[in-house]
Every structure is written in structure tokens, then in C-alpha cells.
Chain A
Amino acid sequence: MLESGTKGLCIAAANEPARQLGVTEGLAFADARARAPGLVTEDMDPAADARALAALGNWMIRFAPLVALDGTDGLILETTGCDHLYGGEPAMLETLSGLLERNAIPHRLGLAGTPGAASALSRAAPGTCLPEGGEQTGLSGLPVAALRLSPEAETLLRRFGLTRIGQLYGIDRKALGRRFQSRSAADAVLLRLDQALGLRHEPLAPLRPLPLRSVRLNCPEPIATSDAIRIGLERLTQELCEALSATGIGARRFLLTAFKSDGTRSELETRAARPVREPKHILRLFRERIDTIDPGFGIDLLLLEAHRTDAMETSPMALSGDLASTDMDATALSALADRVMARLGGRSVTLIRPCESHVPERAEQHTQFDGDAPVPAVPSPVAGPRPIRLLSAPERVTVMAEVPDGPPLRFIWRRVPRTVTRADGPERIAPEWWTHIAAPQPAPALDGQARTWLTPKMDPRADAAQIAHVRADLEALLDTPSEPVKLLPRARDYYRVEDAAGRRYWLFREGLYGDGRGGPPEWYVHGLFA
């Protein structure tokens, strides 16, 4: 594998036959070709490597719940409390090694009491299993390169003649620190040493969030039918809910992972708007999509995790519906919303939230259901008439109307001409100037390249309108940096009109004649009265 270094192309990784010919990592490509003329090379793809490592890490979840990345070429598993499932630590190493071998993944394993020591073992002495507290003696014979040091620090240590980790133990720490050019380099060496020996704690960043509760079902025979998956899921759900109710909590996100015998896995996720722990409800949420799991050659392990756990609301239940203080059963409503969202998608269930705005389309916002009970409509202080149905977006109409501010006499909406018999208005709604502040000119960067904006990452369950708003703002910044003043908001004059057939419309004229904010005003239909 090749990568482009400071001195041109060089070897980033080599396999065993190449190494025997003298092709090692760090060698210039020209030298390598000289040593082995028939060398087959490929360019290094670090992104694909990282993806493959993450996929392997996700697969490792079947052994231990906490899996973390170790640099760019290693994985760390926290096996505390998991080894007895495989008959002890050496047996667990053997099982793991066997499974990796079966999937043709080359590997070097090490097991120790600290992540640093395990990492050093796997790099320098694969297959070793150190007992608890045996780090100091176990690591003393290994080369210092196993300590995950930077190449510069490694070279420097080698020049001092410090090649074994054991040689570092006896050296005065201050003396060692003084030999390095910078304090940070010395600190890095000491930190790695302390972490390997367990003198300093090394926090692990889990590859995926650690579930509070998880249950697993090992299948003696790989299962391949959806009925079998369903039965397995039922058992898991029952077990998980018992564990949850023992601690009085519920969860809002459930993740089912099916590990297949061919080394792949598939995931299924369901969400609930409120914490739940009722097996029947969780099963119904999964049932809609359980057929999307492709069993492949068979599933040998099912894993169900409970994420986003929270305390359950436990309130005494009313004896009768007539005696309940409220007519709304928030839990049942939330359960209905969960089922609909599991089948139709998260955006399909919305609530109307009042918002302090005079602009009609902003006054009532449809936000995604998130477990809050819907509120009854609060009478707003709006004086004017409001239509019973509001169009998604105002629709442009051609209008014959008195100039400058008379109601329309005739208008054509959706290609049908309509004659106005009676009209009422206008009600003027001034624009919200504070939402239309002109976009700032993006300053050219120092390197002369245009900056690109990243799409904001937000929780999809957050306020959908807010996300749309932020995104629209960013897109406006990107698209129209040169003419921000053109889109100054204009006042709207709303009229309630009735046509000859008795249909009632809510029309508005955007802008006034001579307001200096664009051409002549335009007319729109915005709503329909009952």
C-alpha cells in the first residue's frame, strides 16, 4: 500500500511476502521497486480503512458492550464482566481469535488490566493474557514502540538506548523529561507509560453510545425465519422490560441488532415519544418492520438495547373515565403516535404549537410529536377574521382591483375566474423586519478560497421548523450573497371576499403602491373561509 509522504511516494503497509524481500513501511517507493521489481501496489485509502474498522468494531459489540477505537488500526474491548460467558479470559481470547479467523480477518490480540497494556501486548506480544496487576512485569520485556508513541519520541528513546519498556521504570521521571526537546513530548511518553501501568486512568470513547440495559439471545442454531426472529424478539423484550421495571425506568429508543453467521449484522431501531417499558407496545413497534431483517445464512445472536432511558411517569389511574381529571390519556395518545410514526415515518405525526407572530403561517406551527400532550387552542388576541383552512403557501392570483387599496373585484385563482360580490377589509399585517435582516457579505478567506458551510447537524426530533429555518438561512447565505436587499419584506393587506357561488376567500396584496420595495404589489390567495 502506498501513501504520499514528504519525500514522495512511500510504502505505508506491506504484507508478509513483501517484507521478506526487504520492503518495509516507510521505504520510498523507488527503493521498494528496486528491491522487488514485481511489487504489486495500491494507493492507501484511509477513509475506507476507518469505515472497515468501525464496521468491525460494531460487530465486536457481540462480545462486549463497550468497544472503542485504538488509533487507526486497533480496537479496544472492555471485557469486564463478559469473560465468564466464554469461560474465562484465555478462553475468551481463543473464541475471539477463532471467530476472526473464520472470517479471514488477520488479527493480533492481547488482554490486560489496562487499555494501554492490552494495546502494547497486542502490538508486541500477540496472544498474551496478563493477569490483573501483572502489567509491570509483563510489559518490561516489550519494545518501547508498543507504547503508542509518536515516531519522533520513539527515535529519541532509541538514541538514548532505551529500547525496552522495563528500562523506563527505573529512570527518574524528571531526568527523562529533561532529555526531550519539548515538555509535551516528554509528557506524552510518561502519560503512555502511566496509562499502560494503570497509574493513570485512560477514558475510552465508545464507538457507539453505551446502552443502559441490554439483553442478548445466543441461538444454538442459526435462525433464518421471520417467525423465529419474532419469537426471539418476544423473549428479549420480555427480559428487557423486566430489567427496566425492576429499576423503575423506561426507554425511548430500542435497538435490535442481529448478528449473522456470515459476519455481517443488521440493525432495526424504534423510537417512542415517551419512556415506555411495555413489551406489547415495543413489540408492536418492531412488528411493522421485522421483515426488513434479512437473515442471510442465519442469525446466531440477537441483541436488544435500551437507549435514552428515563424515569417513567407513574400516576394513579382514574377509576373511571368519567372521574378522570382530564379527558386526555397522554400515555395512550403517545402510544398511538409511536405506532403511526413507526409505520409512516417520524414526520407524519405533528402537533400545533402556537407561536407569537402576527404572520398567519407562522402563528401556528406544526411541530413533530415528541411526547408532550397537545394543548387546547388558546384564544389569541388577533382581532381580524381568520380562515378555517390555510393554504400551505400563498398562491399567486391575477386580480382586477381598485388602485391603490381597494378590494379585488374579479380574480383568477387556479385558472378559474371568480367574481367578487362582497368584500371586507383590509387588515394590514406588517412584516417582521427582524427576521429579514440582510445577509452579511461572506468575507473572502485569506487563502482566497470560498468557504463552504456545513449542513447543521441537529437531532431530527428537534423543532422541525427551527431546522428548516436555519437551513433556509444558510442556503440564503450561499445562494444570494450579492443582492440581499432585494428581498426586503413588504406589508400585507388582507381582504375577506365572497364570490358569486358563495365561496369565501382570504386574499392579500403584498406591498403597497410606491413603498419602494420592488415593483407593483402582487395578489395572493392565502386561505379559505368556511
Chain B
Amino acid sequence: MALNPPPLKDVFHLSPPRDRPSPAFPLGLGEAGVHEVCEASHGDFAALTGFALAARTRSNGPVVWIRQASLKQAHGTLLRAGCREVTADLPPSLDITPRKLAEALWATEEAIRSGVAALVVAELEDADFTASRRLALAASRHGVPVLLLMPHTRDGATAANARWRLSPRPSSPNRFDPHAPGALRWKAVLERSRQAPHMAGHAFDLELDDETLSLRVVSGLATDPAETRPPRSQDRIGPAGFRQSA
């Protein structure tokens, strides 16, 4: 009997999927495996959302975004109009809002195993080692990258490929208005990593170029507002003798 076609992921691919994430900065964030992005302190959730969207590897398939209701209450929902400031293209997304943690974990695994999403983003309160191992196994088996956005209480063992700890930093000086915020800056600490264990503990100072929407890893960031230009007294119009006498 005629049935629905199998999902596209089950069909063979002309180009083999890349299973080895790149060794450079995001270390495969949003490209392969499970990456945890956690708050450094309460209230950094917006910063880590922006970081996850900006640092992820671009893909065009749909995103399944799972959002636990308690986190939605505390930190709000994603505003797509606001995503334009951190990423050039946000693919269409399907939003799932479970209430309990167990339901959220089930929905995450279900979304991974359905093979329909190009990226699964889950905002979870917590996940024990068993749960993270389940997600990691499912993600590697189905080749779906997973991002777990978690609050600052997240700690302990994990089976994820990496854990990032995110905090916002004062933005860069604004060239046009010294009183206004400038380009976004974050501090991302790589707490754990399976690909690059030697980089664990490394802190990346990041700045988002607001024209090309690309992340720059910078060092020695200036955090003070831009210095105002000194009065250029020599530009004043008048005879030289007048200036000397003044």
C-alpha cells in the first residue's frame, strides 16, 4: 500500500555528512553533537541565546525549538525580529512548550529522532547525566546538532560534547553616539570539551561585528566608553598672534 515517504534524513546523501567538527573556535557548536550553553549568573539567558544563534554553524533546514514553560516565564520567548541583530538567516522554526522537565527531555529526543530538524534547540532547566547521554547518543546516531540552553544552576557531569558558560560584557564603544551601546560583546568560557580537552577552562572574549554579523575572538577588550575628541584649539580660525595672546 502507498505510504508516506520516509523522512529525507533516511535517504542517502550525495555528500557524506560531516561528523568531525571543526577544531576552530566554536568547536562544532550547532554543527554536530550536543553542546550545552549555560548562564554564568542569573539573567544572562538573553546573552546566551544571542551567542548560540550567532556562533552556530548555518544550516537551512527547520529548527525545532523546545522551551520549558518555567524558563519561558522567567526569560521570555524568542523574538524573531530581534534575531536579525545576531544572525543573518534564522530558518523557520517549530516551537514546542512542555511544562515538566521530563516532557521537555522526551520532546527533545523525539525531535532528534524524527530526523526532520536541521537543528534542535532545547531550553531546559536541568538534565542529569543519563538524560544528556541519551541525547548525545540520539544526536550522533541521527546526525542532528543539538543546543541545550540552560540556566546558571546547571552543574555536574554531562555527556555533551562541550559546555559553554556565557556572560555578557559591556558593549563596544559606539562610534556614532558615545552614550549608546555599541557592538555586542560576550565572554564565553569553555568549561568542558570532548574534542579539545586541553582547551577546557579557556575564556573567549567575543565581539559581534554588527555589519557582517560574524563573531570575532578578541583579546584585551576595551570596556570604557570611547574617549571624546579633545578640543582642537589649533583649528580655530584667526591670526596666529591672536591665538598666542589668548
Residues of B within 8 A of A339 (CB): 110, 114
* A351–B94 CB distance below 8 A: yes
**A452 in contact (CB, < 8 A):** no
Chain B 47-81 per-residue mask, 1 if CB under 8 angstroms from chain A, else 0:
10111011000011110100000001101111111
* A344–B98 CB distance below 8 A: yes
Choose from A323, A329, A344 the contact partner of B14 (Cβ within 8 Å): A323
* B98–A348 CB distance below 8 A: yes
Closest to A424 in B: B180
Choose from B81, B92, B96 the contact partner of A328 (Cβ within 8 Å): B92
**A245 in contact (CB, < 8 A):** yes
The 5 tightest CB contacts between A and B, nearest first, are: A530-B50, A528-B46, A374-B92, A317-B5, A424-B180
Q: How far is the CA of A242 from the CA of B2 in the complex (A)?
A: 9
**A141 in contact (CB, < 8 A):** no
Task: Give the interface of B toward A (CB within 8 A).
Answer: 1-5, 7-9, 11-15, 43-47, 49-51, 53-54, 59-62, 64, 72-73, 75-86, 89-99, 103, 106-107, 110-111, 114-116, 118, 167-171, 174, 177, 179-181, 184-186, 208, 225
Choose from B9, B46, B177, B225 the contact partner of A529 (Cβ within 8 Å): B46
Q: How far is the CA of A348 from the CA of B11 in the complex (A)?
A: 30
**A349 in contact (CB, < 8 A):** yes
Residues of A within 8 A of B79 (CB): 360, 364, 386-390, 527
Given contacts A332-B114, A390-B79, A392-B73, contact A530 B49 (CB under 8 A): yes
Residues of B within 8 A of A349 (CB): 94-97
Given contacts A388-B78, A388-B85, A496-B181, contact A324 B8 (CB under 8 A): yes
**A81 in contact (CB, < 8 A):** no
Given contacts A321-B11, A504-B181, contact A527 B44 (CB under 8 A): no
Closest to A382 in B: B81
**A179 in contact (CB, < 8 A):** no
**A366 in contact (CB, < 8 A):** yes
- Interface size (A, Cβ < 8 Å)? 72
* B85–A352 CB distance below 8 A: no
* A527–B95 CB distance below 8 A: no
Q: How far is the CA of A364 from the CA of B95 in the complex (A)?
A: 13
Residues of A within 8 A of B225 (CB): 421-422
Given contacts A352-B80, A385-B85, A530-B184, contact A498 B46 (CB under 8 A): no
* B76–A528 CB distance below 8 A: yes
Q: How far is the CA of A276 from the CA of B84 in the complex (A)?
A: 36
**A217 in contact (CB, < 8 A):** no
Choose from A317, A333, A386, A391 the contact partner of B82 (Cβ within 8 Å): A386
* B47–A374 CB distance below 8 A: no
Pairs A–B under 8 Å by Cβ, sample size 16: A327-B60, A327-B91, A336-B64, A336-B116, A344-B107, A348-B96, A349-B97, A364-B79, A374-B62, A386-B79, A386-B84, A387-B46, A389-B82, A422-B225, A496-B181, A530-B50
Residues of B within 8 A of A379 (CB): 84
Chain A 449-461 per-residue mask, 1 if CB under 8 angstroms from chain B, else 0:
0000000000000
Residues of A within 8 A of B50 (CB): 388, 529-530
**A502 in contact (CB, < 8 A):** yes
Residues of A within 8 A of B167 (CB): 502
Chain A 337-376 per-residue mask, 1 if CB under 8 angstroms from chain B, else 0:
1011001100111111000000010011010010001111
Chain A nearest CB from B111 CB (Å) reads 6
Chain B nearest CB from A310 CB (Å) reads 14
Q: How far is the CA of A329 from the CA of B169 in the complex (A)?
A: 40
Chain A 206-242 per-residue mask, 1 if CB under 8 angstroms from chain B, else 0:
0000000000000000000000000000000000011
Chain A nearest CB from B51 CB (Å) reads 7
Task: Give the interface of A toward B (CB within 8 A).
Answer: 241-242, 245, 276-278, 281, 314, 317-324, 327-329, 331-333, 335-337, 339-340, 343-344, 347-352, 360, 363-364, 366, 369, 373-377, 379-380, 382, 385-392, 421-424, 496-498, 500-504, 527-530
* A332–B85 CB distance below 8 A: no
* B11–A422 CB distance below 8 A: no
Closest to A413 in B: B43
Residues of B within 8 A of A277 (CB): 3
Residues of B within 8 A of A322 (CB): 13-15
Q: How far is the CA of A392 from the CA of B181 in the complex (A)?
A: 25
Q: How far is the CA of A333 from the CA of B111 in the complex (A)?
A: 9
Residues of A within 8 A of B115 (CB): 332
* B111–A336 CB distance below 8 A: yes
* B95–A350 CB distance below 8 A: yes
Residues of A within 8 A of B118 (CB): 327
Closest to A498 in B: B181
Chain B nearest CB from A421 CB (Å) reads 7
* B181–A424 CB distance below 8 A: yes
Residues of B within 8 A of A335 (CB): 4, 114, 116
Given contacts A335-B114, A422-B225, contact A329 B8 (CB under 8 A): yes
Residues of B within 8 A of A390 (CB): 76-79, 82
Given contacts A245-B2, A389-B45, A527-B76, 5 further A-B contacts (CB under 8 A): A328-B116, A348-B97, A421-B225, A502-B170, A528-B46
